[in-house]
Structure 1
Amino acid sequence: MDTENLGELLNIFNDNFAKSFIIGVITGVYAITASYFLKKYRRKKLEKKKEFFEILKEGLINETIQTPNDLVNIYKGVTNLSTEDISYRYGLNKWLREFLAKSIGNKIDGIDKKDLFKIKEKISLFIEHNEKISPFSDLPDTERNMLTDINSFSDNGDKVALKRKVKELGNIIQTRYDEQKKLESQTRWSIPLAIIGVILTVVFGIISIFQ
């Protein structure tokens, strides 16, 4: 192979690795930026939850929170939810259960034993009230609607429709399970492979620059 052909091959080699290096840098910057905003979002959500817990604690102890509507208004005010948001009861119940568990486990400061029973009783009533208004609010829309239909068919004694709906629900659950397993498999390998790819791209890019 003559010198001219060797030079062309080296130029192609350098160009390819230069492009790969740039792509690797862009990918790395994107990953860092996405990670930053994700952490920021989680930190902000955690701060809102702490604020809600503190208001909830003081409201229950001082008995300024009396009705479920009081609680809903506080939750919406802290989380900045719009009045059109109809899925808030899932998040509210989730925070109430977490607050209840931490209260019983003595992980929330400022709650005396004499107040614990009162707090436990009120929170349990609030959760029960939310579940009556919006049954199965912890579930995705599809499963929630199907379970609501199942309850309705059961109350009306419609066994044919009930069996059909239960079978549909079984299919949905199986599909969700398959999707979850597939996602877990992809996630388990995608992150390490992406990191290795970025590292190799940067290394070979640096090597090509100094050749």
Structure 2
Amino acid sequence: MQNIDIILTLLTVLAAFLGLLAMLRILLKLRRPNVKLNTDFFEQLDKKFDLRLVNNKEDITTLADSFRREHLATYELTRLLEDYLRYLINKASNSEGDIKQSYVDRHQKANQILKEEKEEKPYDELPIEERRIFRAINSSVKTGEKEDVLNSLEDLRILISTKSKIYQQSNTINKFSIPLAVIGLILTIYFGIKSLPKENAEQVTTTTNNVDSTKSEIKDTLNTSK
């Protein structure tokens, strides 16, 4: 019977520990921008430039659409191009001769396409609701409808206020979720050990020490990611 209690306790500790790691992985993924998606797009676009397949905006748009479908991403073309320009600057600064010039030429081409995209689709990089309001303001300004501009500005004020509250609440939840998860794990281990007969408690001491060590590593990882 005592052996069964030990096994159940160890399984409980293991389940709690794995649950904590899974949650931390999700939280860390939310904290860190997923740069791999952009890198994939940049590399594919570089290949098109190498093959001289980029002549106009449609050549990049086709690649961006395929990229978004493959990665289930919602990045707008303007955002991708802006990040690509920064990528090209870094590449050019670390290159010399013809290779450096090729990145400079690509930067000029991509920058021209970005300007065309922004002229054709102003505010396209904004979320849907913000985009709608800014387009309404732009249209009202052109037609001289002062009252409509004021109404749109009020809509924008309400939207910003609402999203700010949601962000603050989300940030508060994330701030306390990790400490609470660690505390929960510690309590699970503690009461699990307390429930064992005294002569068998030492058998799980090693597990506790390992968890404490892992907790320190998790804390270091979180501090590094900030």
Same fold (TM over 0.5): yes
Q: Map 1:1-211 to 2 at 5 A.
A: 22=12, 26-33=15-22, 46-81=35-70, 88=74, 90=76, 92-106=77-91, 112-210=99-197
Greater shift in the superposed pair: 106-115 or 122-131: 106-115
Alpha carbons of structure 1 residues 193 and 34: separation in structure 2 relative to 1, 3 Å: closer
Q: Percent identity?
A: 22
How far apart, CA to CA, are the structure 1 residues paired with 2:20 and 2:79? Answer: 30
Conserved 8 A contact 1:154-1:162: yes
Per the TM alignment, residue 31 of structure 1 is displaced from its structure 2 partner at its CA by: 4.2
Question: How far does the alpha carbon of each residue in 1:162-183 deviate from its partner, in whole angstroms, 9 at most, with x for none?
Answer: 1111121012112222222222
Cα distance, 1:152–1:27 mapped onto 2, change above 3 Å: farther
More displaced stretch, 132-141 vs 64-73:
132-141
Higher relative contact order structure (alpha carbons within 8 Å, sequence separation ≥ 6) = 1
Give 1:193's aligned amino acid: L
- AA aligned to 1:144 is R
Question: 2:20·2:185 contact (CA, 8 Å) conserved in 1?
Answer: no
| Residue ranges of structure 2 left out of the alignment (5+ in a row) | 199-226
One-letter amino acid of the structure 1 residue matched with residue 188 of structure 2: T
Give the partner amino acid of 1:128: K
C-alpha spacing 1:139/1:177, structure 2 compared with 1 (3 Å) = same
**Once the two structures are superposed, what CA deviation does each residue of 1:17-42 show, in whole Å capped at 9, x if it has no partner?**
x89x84x755543443456688899x
Tell me how far apart the structure 1 counterparts of residues 48 and 127 of structure 2 sit (CA, whole Å).
31
**Distance change (3 Å), C-alpha of 1:205 and 1:102:** same
**Residue correspondences, number:** 188
Length-normalised TM-score, structure 1: 0.70
Q: Bigger CA drift: 148-157 or 113-122?
A: 113-122
Q: 1:38 to 1:177 in 2, by over 3 A?
A: closer
Asked if the contact 1:100/1:123 (under 8 Å) is kept, the reply is: yes
